[in-house]
Structure 1
Amino acid sequence: MDPSFHIPTTIPSPSIPGGAPWMDCRIWSRLPHRLIDRVVASLPPPAFFRARSVCKRWYGLIFSTAFIELYLHLSPSRHWFIFFKHTRLKNCIAAGGGEAFLFDPENLKWYRLGIPQIPAGVSAVSASGGLVCFVSEEAGSKSVLLFNPVMGTLIQLPSTLRPRLCPSIGLTITDSSIDLIFAGDDLISPYAVKNLTSESFHIDGGGFYSIWGTTAALPRLCSLESGRMVHVKGRFYCMNYSPFSVLAYDVAANNWSKIQAPMRRFLRSPSLVESRGRAVLVAAVEKRKLNVPRSLRLWALQECGAAWAEIERMPQQLYGEFAEAEWGRGFDAVAHGDYVVILIKGSERAVMFDFGGKRWSWICPCPCGGRDGMRGFAYEPRLAVPITALLEQLTLPFNSFAA
């Protein structure tokens, strides 16, 4: 601290019963800018954008390279979620604008974000590292957009090389690398689709890149229907159907393998999520012919990569309420950090499990939610994402759009 800087001490207020302390308002004008910047850099995005209206200097912080570097160094990780409405997203985008909803599971708060920058004909398919991946819905080579909802910026990646219908998609982004993979639903003719191949996009700070040049054959007789993948320690995982199993893609080895799912004959609505560095399977268990109560369970993939261990089970009373609300419609799960959110399809209702507090609870519905349900992704709101600079430098001719 600057030795010439003096902080007035708090003194008892004669106007407040009990002599409650108060702080001289003049202290704020005496704080050094470097200290104020550290405080502002630690604010969550909603508070940061409210603070920008205080003065011209705070408004301009977002354009300061020094502040952005400070923000990247100091800003804590936030295990939030981002949700999009199923039908209204497409309708709003077609009309020239859409909306997304951020959920803070620690404080149980919702925030609405307008997304007018997203063009028509694309859908949100994955999120990582502060960016949301949008992919074109039309059959054929897929257009790919990486979008920062907080800043409203877009980066367009090169289109995939192979024509596909509705592939399963995985994304993982760090400060120095990006891996994006498309798998299955190969269009072998205008009238036939098969799950035959995968192709991936990779760029890292070491100068290595593969722009859809890395391909691999999928296991025989695989059925990818969920469209989702999760990334855990160098591998992408996705659900395989009929019967249930899990497909794993090793990024470094560029090969696929199949892992047997736990209780695969009795699972309903299985979802794969990543939580605290583990691949976790969330599913309802229904053994109609055995004397075992129906339940919703969580299994974690063990270090050997081939066995599962049950780690949590929804309390039976809560499961009764959940099953009554779900009424056989199915559900999806999404996880981030300590939190797992289980959303009932075609509904705005959801249950959350907190690994840290070992608590199950219903969460407050989104104030702008609807009856069509929502699609959610793990999301860390960030003002700056370092990988975007690398993408713009190494993958020209990309198109970048600013809000």
Structure 2
Amino acid sequence: MEQDQSQVVKKTRKRKLLEEGHGMLGLSLDDLNEDLLERILSWLPTSSFCRLRSVCKRWSSVAASATFQLACSQVPSRDPWFFMVNPHLNQSIVFDTAEKNWKNLNYPLPLQQIPNCNAIPVAAAGGLICFRTNSGDFIVCNPVTGTCQELPPVGLASLNQNLHAVAMISSSKYSYKLILVFGELPCLCVKIYDSSENQWEEEGKIYRKAKSFLESDSTGDDTMYFLSKAGDVVATNMQRSPSKQYSSVVAVKDGEEIIYFLSPAGMVVACKLSKKCFCEYPRLLPMFFEYSIDVIECRGEMMVVVLSEFLESASLRVWRFSEVDQAWYQIAAMPPSMSHEFYGKKADINCVGCKDQILICVNSSELSGYVLYDMGANEWVELPKYFVNGEAKEFMSAFSFEPRIEACV
């Protein structure tokens, strides 16, 4: 008898849950007010935003609504996209880390329609990417919406100097700064564009820190030659993809913004903007071990990725610098079964970091590949090729950005 009663109770509860479930299923999105609908749709993956207009008239109006963009801005973060750069700079291909697939932006970026522009991407932050034209001017674009803005001219005085680094800082979803570092070591200058003021600040000098880690004042050509132990002449591979020749990152340490970039000698230079000073970090490896190197920002700090060869094998490792010990420490290494493929290929690496992920583009005349490293899971994954009409496309480098339709240029 007690068992029968318990079964009746279970059935009653089950029936009640089913009835409540049917009630919820009977609720249509059409029954929601505009504000609630916008809040719900704002949490959709960014890749679905471009399809909102084709669902129905109401959703199409939501996609164009200013309040919908405000709702999107309330979403704390979105999984990054990697904007890929191909040799001809004529495609807008991204890798979506949320859906783990390639996407072709369905429109040419407006800057690609500007005659004789020949713009190449040079920096990214937040939801924006910065392009530099062949005339030395800059264009900032939101790759998701296609909107772009040409920044005021930098000025002839700055254009005539050697440009070392181009970095972006996204202070909010509605403002950003573009930072240029140029000059000749040891005399460097910095110039900053503030989007909130829509103007460039006055050029400022930055000086070498009294206690610097400088090992060499070499500012000559980017290639260094040396004799291997076997007596062969070897050249370090310091060539950069055209879009990464100003490879630089920004990290905030103790509330201070620091720009890191690679000198022509392959050393990491750190510029502290507030203190108007810079220093060089010690060389990571002896010169004859260094093969290809790139600087990245990951987990809010600067790191470097190095591809080197030793004892008939290739290794790809991630390093960070300890200010306390004044030394480099290895924090990750690609499995030898993957990195050995690069041995003897004279490959160049171009890398970009975002949150816990590092994308590494490996290119040479013999191979082209892309590897994604997840620091949290300590996983190395080789990305699939991107095919167009049965042909695999090659990418030289990538820039990471947070896909947001509300990001303002």
Give yes or no for the alignment of 1:345 onto 2:363: yes
Aligned partners of 1:133 and 1:145 also within 8 Å: yes
**Identical pairs, percent:** 22
Distance 1:47 1:169 in 2: 32
Give yes or no for the alignment of 1:354 onto 2:374: yes
Name the counterpart of 1:78.
79
In the alignment, residue 399 of structure 2 is paired with which amino acid?
A: F
CA 1:210–1:248: 2 relative to 1, 3 Å: farther
Give yes or no for the alignment of 1:183 onto 2:181: yes
Distance 2:327 2:63 in 1: 47
Displacement after TM superposition at 1:171 (Å):
1.5
Give yes or no for the alignment of 1:136 onto 2:155: no
Among 251, 256, 271, the alignment partner of 1:232 is 251
CA 1:366–1:305: 2 relative to 1, 3 Å: farther
Give yes or no for the alignment of 1:367 onto 2:387: yes
Name the counterpart of 2:122.
125
Distance 1:110 1:327 in 2: 26
Name the counterpart of 1:263.
285
Name the counterpart of 1:379.
401
In the alignment, residue 115 of structure 1 is paired with which amino acid?
A: P
Among 100, 103, 116, the alignment partner of 2:92 is 100
CA 1:253–1:217: 2 relative to 1, 3 Å: closer
CA 1:34–1:362: 2 relative to 1, 3 Å: same
Displacement after TM superposition at 1:66 (Å):
2.0
Superposition RMSD on alpha carbons, in Å? 3.0
Among 326, 334, 344, the alignment partner of 1:314 is 334
State how 1:5-154 maps to structure 2 within 5 Å: 9-10=20-21, 24=25, 27-74=28-75, 76-87=77-88, 89=89, 98-113=90-105, 114-118=107-111, 119=114, 120-138=117-135, 142-154=136-148
In the alignment, residue 155 of structure 1 is paired with which amino acid?
A: Q
Q: Between Structure 1 and Structure 2, how many residues are aligned?
A: 344
Displacement after TM superposition at 1:378 (Å):
1.1
CA 1:222–1:241: 2 relative to 1, 3 Å: same
How does the TM-score come out when normalised to structure 1? 0.76
Displacement after TM superposition at 1:37 (Å):
1.3
**Whose radius of gyration is greater, 1 or 2?**
2
Aligned partners of 1:42 and 1:74 also within 8 Å: yes
Secondary structure of the corresponding residue to residue 262 of structure 2: strand
Displacement after TM superposition at 1:109 (Å):
1.1
Distance 2:377 2:33 in 1: 39
| 1:162-202 CA distance string (max 9 Å, x none) | 1246643112222165332223367xxxxxxx885333214
Displacement after TM superposition at 1:229 (Å):
0.6
CA 1:305–1:101: 2 relative to 1, 3 Å: farther
Query: Where does the alignment leave 5 or more consecutive residues of structure 2 unmatched?
Result: 1-17, 209-216, 223-239
Distance 1:131 1:332 in 2: 20
Name the counterpart of 1:398.
none
Secondary structure of the corresponding residue to residue 124 of structure 1: strand
Displacement after TM superposition at 1:314 (Å):
1.0
Secondary structure of the corresponding residue to residue 59 of structure 2: helix
Secondary structure of the corresponding residue to residue 49 of structure 1: helix
Query: Where does the alignment leave 5 or more consecutive residues of structure 1 unmatched?
Result: 1-6, 12-21, 90-97, 187-193, 389-403
Secondary structure of the corresponding residue to residue 174 of structure 1: strand
Give yes or no for the alignment of 1:157 onto 2:124: no
Secondary structure of the corresponding residue to residue 213 of structure 1: coil
Name the counterpart of 2:296.
273
In the alignment, residue 264 of structure 2 is paired with which amino acid?
A: Y
